[in-house]
């Protein structure tokens, strides 16, 4: 189904009240004691108050527990070297005999000398020997045994990324240094594919240049259409939400992305418009849950950003921007997209976090979650769709950091609190069977496995 501005305006006028605002975001307190879960229509939303951890690591609701899977400076890789630091985006994969594989990004920027525990330069898996970031693969056995090894090394600032429908991980560089800048020997700002189940497939890393070179944050693949959607965390000007359309006849699959020509397919940025057909310059213009924008797509002139950063190649009025476009996750036939906050860098109303849903069939963006400045909660970042309904979101804001759930009406409830330090949560993702919620404390780099009496959450 195609949708242009005129069609969208007609549909909006006919729907009238259908575009009315829905729901209200509940405030999530950040006091050091227990946090009560809000109620939804008489039914308790969430899992109850958070109970302080006597070990000072993770506050969870009663009946829940956690286990440390990896800890930088404490646990080791198969090679004997330390688990790298600064855990970030993560995905899970079902392995043989009940094992769970995880690919874990390490957001390490700049030269290797800057970090005590960079990603080791494992032979055959290195893109740029000067860079400190990369990914590790973690294998968790049913009996509790854990093994960890390098998936890729020599990349920079591996922040979020995304799981593919064919069972691999796309890791994103949130840094676009060129060769010769900050000690780098190769150009950065790319996406790389990692296969958690086939170590040989990760040898001789090759960037997917067709996806563009910029400060990548996250990526998802539309399993039906084959489009890739990507976010950019950048400012001055604010970053963009991209769509990559594959070339005609291209078929996705393991290792196929690395065969693409550098200019394969088309990279595009969005131009949004409201129900009256008016152009929307920035997503911070939306002030209420339920806001719906139509989306057109504009081709990127130079996806490799050789003469100007990709986001700087558009004139005012051409594309729609947003501040701190962060995590994404595919679910419910579309992709959820986080804008972590908006302040003076944005032209609209300040906010402490938005979650949007892009529907590729309707070509619409709908605001699902809105965190207000006065709620005492801020900075949604990594995100996943919960098998128990709604979303689970990692906080990267001011003060105490949480994992929290959000319903499809924008209501929120606490799941965990970081009692270890003030570092952000990252890499929130469920195991393939839905029994375990994995999440990371980014600094120093701790991967945690949370289990407990998960249950379906009311969504209204």
List pLDDT tens digits, range 193-213. Answer: 999 999 999 999 999 999 999
pLDDT at 14 over 60: no
How many helices (H) and strands (E) the chain has is answered by: 1, 29
Domain 5-451 architecture: 6 Propeller (2.120)
pLDDT band at 38 (very low <50, low <70, confident <90, very high): very low
pLDDT at 260 over 70: yes
Rounded Cα–Cα distance for residues 128 and 306 (Å):
19
pLDDT at 336 over 90: yes
Q: Please report the pLDDT score of residue 18 as a whole number.
A: 28
pLDDT at 233 over 60: yes
> Which 3 state secondary structure label does DSSP give 421?
coil
Rounded Cα–Cα distance for residues 219 and 13 (Å):
33
Rounded Cα–Cα distance for residues 148 and 159 (Å):
19
pLDDT band at 7 (very low <50, low <70, confident <90, very high): low
Predicted confidence (pLDDT) per residue in 58-80, tens digit: 999 999 999 999 999 999 999 99
Tell me which residue of 446, 418, 428 sits closest to 380, measured CA to CA: 428
Q: How many CB atoms lie within 10 A of CB 202?
A: 23
Retrieve residue 62's tokens: 């009663």
Q: Please report the pLDDT score of residue 353 as a whole number.
A: 94
Q: Please report the pLDDT score of residue 408 as a whole number.
A: 78
Rounded Cα–Cα distance for residues 151 and 201 (Å):
10
pLDDT at 417 over 50: yes
Q: What is the pTM of this model?
A: 0.91
Query: How many angstroms separate the Cα of 309 from the Cα of each of 135, 251, 330, 428?
Result: 26, 29, 27, 30
Q: Please report the pLDDT score of residue 411 as a whole number.
A: 84
Average pLDDT over the chain, rounded to an integer:
90
Q: Please report the pLDDT score of residue 23 as a whole number.
A: 31
Q: How many CB atoms lie within 10 A of CB 399?
A: 14
pLDDT at 225 over 70: yes
Q: Please report the pLDDT score of residue 252 as a whole number.
A: 97
More confident residue, 27 or 165: 165
Q: Please report the pLDDT score of residue 258 as a whole number.
A: 94
pLDDT band at 458 (very low <50, low <70, confident <90, very high): confident
Q: How far is CA 400 from the centre of its chain?
A: 20
Domain boundaries, the chain: 5-451
């Amino acid at each position: 189904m195609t949708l242009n501005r005129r069609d969208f305006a007609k549909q909006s006028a006919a729907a009238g009240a259908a575009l009315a605002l829905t729901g209200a975001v509940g405030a999530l307190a950040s006091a050091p004691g227990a946090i009560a879960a809000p109620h939804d229509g008489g039914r308790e939303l969430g899992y109850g108050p958070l109970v302080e951890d006597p070990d000072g690591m993770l506050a969870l609701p009663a009946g829940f527990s956690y286990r440390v899977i990896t800890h930088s400076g404490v646990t080791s890789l198969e090679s004997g070297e330390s688990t790298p630091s600064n855990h970030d985006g993560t995905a899970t994969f079902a392995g043989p005999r009940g094992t769970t594989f995880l690919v874990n990004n390490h957001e390490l920027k700049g030269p290797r000398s800057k970090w005590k525990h960079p990603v080791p330069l494992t032979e055959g898996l290195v893109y740029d020997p000067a860079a400190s970031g990369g990914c590790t693969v973690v294998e968790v056995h049913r009996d509790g045994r854990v093994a960890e090894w390098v998936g890729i090394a020599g990349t920079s600032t591996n922040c979020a990324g995304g799981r593919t429908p064919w069972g691999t991980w796309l890791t994103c560089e949130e840094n676009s240094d060129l060769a010769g800048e900050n000690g780098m020997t190769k150009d950065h700002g790319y996406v790389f594919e990692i296969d958690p189940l086939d170590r040989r497939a990760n040898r001789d890393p090759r960037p997917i240049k067709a996806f563009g070179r910029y400060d990548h944050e996250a990526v998802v693949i539309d399993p039906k259409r084959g489009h890739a959607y990507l976010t950019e965390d950048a400012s001055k000007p604010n970053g963009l939400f991209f769509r990559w359309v594959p070339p005609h006849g291209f078929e996705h699959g393991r290792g196929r992305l690395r065969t693409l020509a550098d200019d394969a397919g088309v990279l595009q940025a969005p131009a949004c418009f409201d129900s009256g057909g008016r152009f929307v310059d920035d997503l911070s213009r939306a002030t209420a849950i339920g806001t719906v924008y139509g989306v057109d797509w504009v081709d990127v002139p130079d996806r490799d950003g050789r003469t100007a950063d990709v986001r700087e190649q558009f004139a005012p009025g051409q594309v729609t921007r947003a501040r701190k476009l962060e995590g994404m996750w595919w679910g419910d036939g579309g992709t959820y997209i986080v804008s972590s906050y908006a302040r003076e860098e944005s032209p609209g109303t300040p906010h402490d976090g938005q979650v949007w849903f892009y529907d590729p069939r309707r070509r619409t963006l709908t605001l699902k979650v809105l965190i207000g400045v006065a709620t005492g909660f801020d900075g949604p970042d990594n995100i996943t769709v919960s098998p128990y309904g709604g979303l689970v979101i990692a906080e990267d804001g001011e003060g105490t950091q949480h994992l929290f759930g959000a319903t499809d009406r924008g209501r929120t409830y606490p799941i965990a609190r970081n009692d270890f330090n003030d570092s952000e949560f990252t890499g929130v993702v469920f195991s393939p069977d839905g029994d375990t919620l994995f999440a990371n404390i980014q600094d120093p780099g701790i991967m945690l496995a949370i289990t407990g009496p998960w249950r379906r959450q009311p969504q209204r």
